[in-house]
């Protein structure tokens, strides 16, 4: 999630490889995560999950926009610590253009 000193929160989403394959099969979609990250049905699924989560928060705290990454965050790319915590500064820097696009 990103949104410090911004008008609203935005989020980068990664797909659970085990769960999204089941969804893909049920909807006769390709099982490739990169292709699924661009599929309108997957975007609709994620929007529904975010809408459910947003219902629990005040308007100012609700996620307004999102991007689905075509890959997972990883230690190898420096985005996660050895204990699998997100390195926010690395993610914010690496995906700065994506974040900016969500506010544009």
Per residue in 5-61, pLDDT (tens digit) is 899 999 999 999 899 999 999 999 999 989 999 999 999 999 999 999 999 999 999
- What residues contact 86, with CB distance under 8 A and at least 6 apart? 73, 79, 80
Number of domains in the chain: 1
* pLDDT class of 104 with cuts at 50, 70, 90: confident
pLDDT (average), residues 80-103: 96
Q: What is the pTM of this model?
A: 0.90
Report if residue 52 sits inside a domain.
Answer: yes
Report if residue 2 sits inside a domain.
Answer: no
**Structural domain for 41, as ranges:** 10-103
pLDDT (average), residues 62-70: 96
Report if residue 3 sits inside a domain.
Answer: no
What Rg do the C-alpha atoms of the chain give, in angstroms?
Answer: 14
pLDDT of residue 27: 97
Report if residue 4 sits inside a domain.
Answer: no
Report if residue 57 sits inside a domain.
Answer: yes
């Amino acid at each position: 999630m990103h949104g410090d000193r911004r008008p609203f929160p935005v989020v980068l989403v990664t797909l659970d490889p085990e769960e999204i394959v089941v969804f893909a099969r049920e909807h006769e979609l390709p099982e490739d995560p990169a292709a699924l990250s661009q599929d309108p049905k997957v975007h609709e699924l994620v929007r529904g999950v975010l809408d459910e989560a947003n219902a629990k928060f005040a308007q100012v705290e609700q996620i307004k926009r999102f991007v689905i990454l075509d890959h997972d965050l990883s230690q190898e790319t420096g985005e996660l610590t050895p204990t699998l915590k997100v390195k926010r500064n690395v993610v914010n820097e690496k995906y700065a253009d994506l974040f900016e696009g969500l506010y544009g």
